[in-house]
Amino acid sequence: MKKTSGTLFWPLGGLLKLYAFGKGQRIVHKDPITGPAITLSNHTSFYDFIYTTTALYPKRMNYLAAHKMFFDPLLGPFLRLSRAIPKALLQPDAVATMKALRVLKNKGILSIFPEGQISPSGRFMKPTFSVAKLIKKAKVDVFIVKHQFPYLVNPPWTKKTFRGRMDTQVVKLFDRNDIPNLSEQEIYESVYKALYHSPYEDNLLKQYTYKLNDIQGLEHVLTECPTCHKTGLVSQKHQLNCPHCQAIFKYDAYGRIDNQGVDVYYEAQRQRLIQTVLANPNYTLESPVRLEGYRNKRVQTIGEGHLTLSKDGYHFVGKVFNEDKTYHFDVKDVPTCPSDIGRNIQIYEGYELYQFVFENPYLPTQFVLLGEVLHDLYVNKQLGGNQ
């Protein structure tokens, strides 16, 4: 894999740097970096590719990016121009690994977002263990490119901007000479600790404020009322209202809701769902859906039907390309479903995308959370049975 053309990258990168500065990004620390090297970034906004690019500028890098993103009409050309490497999301991909190692062999910089998706709550999500395997195999310097507070400026549940400051730091995590002495588990734990970020926890110290904007869309992340636990919160300018118990939750200039982070409420939803599933192992979600997939080099509607999620897995019955189809995905094979909040969930098999689109905007997050809970309960049951 070749680097991005310098003739194209340096003027474009310079413009991106000005753009990111205008958005509020500030580089607060930057260790010197030369290839071959791997950089690892947290992922809480649609702009994180730009923020990582500007943090490393004028160095060029090759991104490891989800295969789906190459089909996006806006982002796809940028990824191809930057010679990004398509990756089958949330699963082993020997071809992508081979190309990544080739970048490093040519003394390039490989940039990775180990979470594999944008965090819906802003809190750092558990990365895939494959990142530790790649680091162990590559034996090159590893840097953390940590972005603090993009979630408070451009949260993924809205296209609106809440103007304010973001901090980025580039810190060396591993020297290539130290990696042979580390186990994959030690590498993984160090990566998780170094990348962990909650904008709300961190902002208790920084106390940055952000210009208030309409929070429409947040109710599709926090789908349950924190007070009565019923679904259906309604956004109104800077607050969420519960139509069931009339509770009101105000969003403030620190990005908090009644002095609590979105991630705290989101985790509380997860914990309530765990208790629900433990009390009712046959708990099920179901909904009519449209099915989107790859067609004519774009993500387009290819069918429609009915999606059910239970302990047995994700089960779709419907028509695809006007033919009767049934698809089944075991929960043990799907640790999580990336989601365009309020619109869809995504399941990947190799380079094939199954994107299930809902009319009810509260359901995608509920499917995501239930899928994660069922997967974790399956894994814990297996571990308990092997002890």
pLDDT at 5 over 70: no
- For residue range 263-317, what is the model confidence (pLDDT) as tens digits? 999 999 999 999 999 999 999 999 999 999 999 889 999 999 999 999 999 999 9
Output DSSP code: residue 358.
Answer: -
38 and 140 assigned to the same domain: yes
What is the rounded distance in angstroms from the CA atom of residue 75 to the CA atom of residue 97? Answer: 22
- For residue range 29-84, what is the model confidence (pLDDT) as tens digits? 999 999 999 999 999 999 999 999 999 999 999 999 888 888 888 778 878 877 89
Enter the tokens of residue 257. Answer: 């809701």
What is the rounded distance in angstroms from the CA atom of residue 61 to the CA atom of residue 136? Answer: 20
254 and 322 assigned to the same domain: no
Question: Is 248 domain-assigned?
Answer: yes
Given 279, 299, 317, the domain boundary residue is: 279
13 and 138 assigned to the same domain: yes
What is the rounded distance in angstroms from the CA atom of residue 27 to the CA atom of residue 31? Answer: 11
pTM for the model stands at 0.92
- For residue range 121-139, what is the model confidence (pLDDT) as tens digits? 999 999 989 999 999 999 9
Question: Is 144 domain-assigned?
Answer: yes
148 and 249 assigned to the same domain: no
What is the rounded distance in angstroms from the CA atom of residue 117 to the CA atom of residue 236? Answer: 28
Task: Quote the longest CA-to-CA distance of the chain.
Answer: 61
193 and 73 assigned to the same domain: yes
Q: What local confidence, expressed as pLDDT, does residue 10 receive?
A: 85
246 and 337 assigned to the same domain: no
142 and 231 assigned to the same domain: no
Question: Is 212 domain-assigned?
Answer: no
| Domain total of the chain | 3
pLDDT at 6 over 90: no
Which pairs with CB-CB distance under 8 Å and at least 24 residues apart come from 262-265? 262/121, 262/122, 262/155, 262/200, 262/218, 262/221, 262/222, 263/121, 263/122, 263/123, 263/198, 263/199, 263/200, 264/200, 265/222, 265/226
Question: Is 312 domain-assigned?
Answer: yes
356 and 242 assigned to the same domain: no
Domain range for 304: 285-382
pLDDT at 326 over 90: yes
Q: Which amino acid is at 276?
A: T
Reported as a pLDDT band with limits 50, 70 and 90, residue 387 is very low
- What average pLDDT does the chain have? 93
47 and 111 assigned to the same domain: yes
